[in-house]
Amino acid sequence: MQITELPKLLKRKLYLSPSARKSWLQILKTALITAFIVGGIAYVENEQKKNKSTTINQPSIQAKIDKSNTNNYQKKISTGTAQSEAGEGKNNDTTCEYKFNLSEIICLTSDLKLLAQVENTSIIFAAILFILGTFDRKKQLERQAWQLIDGAQGSQTSGARRQAIEELYEEGSDITGLDADGADLRGINLSGANLERASFKNAILEEANFAGANLRDADFTEARLQGANFNKAKLWNANFTGARLEAFIDNNEIKKPTDLRDADLGLTTFNQAILSEAIFGVVDSELHIGGNETNLNGAQLRDANLKAVNLNKVCIAEAKFGGAKIDSIETIRKAEKYREAYYSKDFSDAHHDEIKKVDEDYYKDLESQQVTTKKIVEISQRLLSKESLSLQDEDSLSDFVNLLNHLVILFKESNNQCFTENEVLDKVIDIEQKIEERNQIREKLLRKKSEAKKLIEEGKKLIE
C-alpha cells in the first residue's frame, strides 16, 4: 500500500453513514437527559440535607444560652446530647457546595438514596437496551428501502424509489445489480456508486450524476440520459443501445451537454444512440476537468447520431462507426488513433486517403437484419390474411401457434423497432384470446359429458 493512499483509507474507515451519525446523536441526547435527571435528584437531596443539619444544630445553640440557669449535671447531659446529635447529623447528612468540579459532582451523586435502585436498574438497563437497539435500525431501514424499490417495479413515476436508492447508496449498502427498468430517476445522485450489472432500461435519467461510478456491464438500453454526468465513470461493456444522450435543455433554454469525459468506455455499445453534442474529449475552455483519458477502444457506435460530438483527444482505436452520422472528418481527426477505427463505406470512400478500414461486420448484420425483416413481413401477411381468421380445426390452430412462436423469435432477433406497435401484434393478441376461449369451451363440454355419464349410470342403477 502506498503512503499516499493512507489518508483515503483512514477516511473510509472513520466515515460514519447518516444512520450511524443519527444513532450516535440519539445516544448523546440520552446521556445528557440521564445526567440532567441524576443532577436534579442530587440537588433535591442535597437541599434536604442542609435543612436537616440546621434543625439538628439549633438545640446546641439553645443549650449555650441557658447555661447559667441549669446545674452542672444537666448541662453536661444537655451538651453531650446536642453534640451527639450534631455529630450524628454531620456523619450521616454531609452537605456539598455547588461547584462545577469533579470532586463536587462525586459528592452530589455518591450518596443518592432515591437513585439507589433506579440508577442500578432502570436508567442503566434502558440506556444499554437503547444502545443495542440503535444499530439494528440501519438494517431495518435497508430492508424497508429494498421493499420499496422492489414494490415499485414496473411503476414509471416513483419519487420514493429514487430517494430509497440514494439512501441505500449513502448508507454504503450493496446496490450492484440494481433493477430500475422504466423508473423515473431524473436528477438522481449516484456519484461514486458501485452499480456493476445494474439495469436502467427505458429509465428516465435526465441530469443524473454517475460521476466516478462503477457501471461495468450496466444496461441503459433506450434510457433517457440527456445532460447526465458520467465523468470518470467505469462503463466497460455497458449497453447504451438506442439511448438518448444529447444535451439537456432546461426551461430557460440553456443547454447542458452529457458529460462522458475521462470515462472508461471500452467495448461499450452505443448502437442507434443519440449522442449529438455529447462531450467525450477535452474542452479548451475547461481544461481542468480533463477529457484526454476517455477510452472508446473497441466501442460500437453503429447507426449512432454523432452530430457536433466532442472527440478531442479521445482514443477510438478499433471502434466501430458503421452507419454512424458524423458531421465531418474534422470531428474524427481530433480523436486519437482515428485511423485504427472502422467506418461506413461511404465515409471511407469520401476520405480514402486517411480512412482505410471499413466496418464489414456492420453490413453483414445489416444484411441479416434485412432477411429477418423479410421473414417477419411474410408471416405478418399470413396472419393478416382472411384464411387465417378461421380456427375451426386442429391443424389450423397448430399452424397458428407455430407461426406465433416463430414471429416472437424473429422479433427478438430483429433490431427493427417498427413492428412493435403495429397490427401484427394486435392480431397475435386476438389469436391468443381465441385459443384461450376455445380451450375453455372444450373444458366445459368435457365436464358436461362427464356429468351426463354419471347421470346415466345412476339412472341404470335405479331401474335395476
- CA neighbor of 181 nearest in space, from 206, 209, 155: 155
- The confidence band for 77, taking pLDDT boundaries of 50, 70 and 90, is very low
Instruction: Count how many Cα atoms sit within 13 Å of the Cα of residue 164 in the half-sphere of its side chain.
Output: 22
Rounded to whole angstroms, the Cα distance separating 329 from 355 reads 10
- Reply yes or no on whether the pLDDT at 271 is more than 80: yes
314, 336 in Cβ contact below 8 A? yes
- CA neighbor of 305 nearest in space, from 214, 233, 226: 226
What is the predicted pLDDT for the residue at 239? 97
- The confidence band for 296, taking pLDDT boundaries of 50, 70 and 90, is very high
Supply the DSSP string of 161-208, one letter for each residue.
HHHHHHHHHHTT---TT-B-TT-B-TT-B-TT-B-TT-B-TT-B-TT-
What's the mean pLDDT when you consider all of the chain? 75
pTM of the model: 0.61
- The confidence band for 421, taking pLDDT boundaries of 50, 70 and 90, is very low
212, 192 in Cβ contact below 8 A? yes
Q: Which residue has the cell 435502585?
A: 117
Mean pLDDT of 223-231: 96
Count CB-CB contacts under 10 A for residue 185: 21
Q: Where are the domains of the chain?
A: 17-134, 155-358, 362-463
| Residue 389, Ramachandran bin (φ over 0: left; ψ between -120 and 50: alpha; else beta) | alpha
Dihedral sign of CA atoms 401, 405, 410, 415 in order? positive
Rounded to whole angstroms, the Cα distance separating 207 from 248 reads 7
Count CB-CB contacts under 10 A for residue 36: 10
Question: Residue 453, SS3?
Answer: helix
Count CB-CB contacts under 10 A for residue 277: 20
Q: Name 313's Cβ contacts closer than 8 Å, sequence gap at least 6.
A: 281, 282, 291, 292, 294, 334, 335, 336
What is the predicted pLDDT for the residue at 43? 74
Pairing of strands 320-321, 255-256: unpaired
For the record, the C-alpha cell of 149 comes out as 424499490
Rounded to whole angstroms, the Cα distance separating 396 from 404 reads 12
The percentage of residues in the chain with a pLDDT greater than 70, rounded to a whole number, is 56
396, 390 in Cβ contact below 8 A? yes
Count CB-CB contacts under 10 A for residue 112: 16
- Reply yes or no on whether the pLDDT at 188 is more than 90: yes
What is the predicted pLDDT for the residue at 338? 95
Integer angstrom CA distances of residue 91 from 62, 84, 85, 87, 460: 22, 11, 10, 6, 111
What is the predicted pLDDT for the residue at 346? 94
Pick the CATH number of 155-358 from 3.90.1580.10, 2.160.20.80, 3.20.20.80, 3.40.50.10300: 2.160.20.80
* pLDDT tens digits for range 331-379: 999 999 999 999 999 999 999 999 999 999 999 887 777 776 677 667 6
- Long-range residue pairs from 32-37, CB within 8 A, at least 24 positions apart, any chain: 34/123, 34/127, 37/123
Rounded to whole angstroms, the Cα distance separating 317 from 309 reads 17
- Reply yes or no on whether the pLDDT at 108 is more than 90: no
What does the chain come to in residues? 464
351, 312 in Cβ contact below 8 A? no
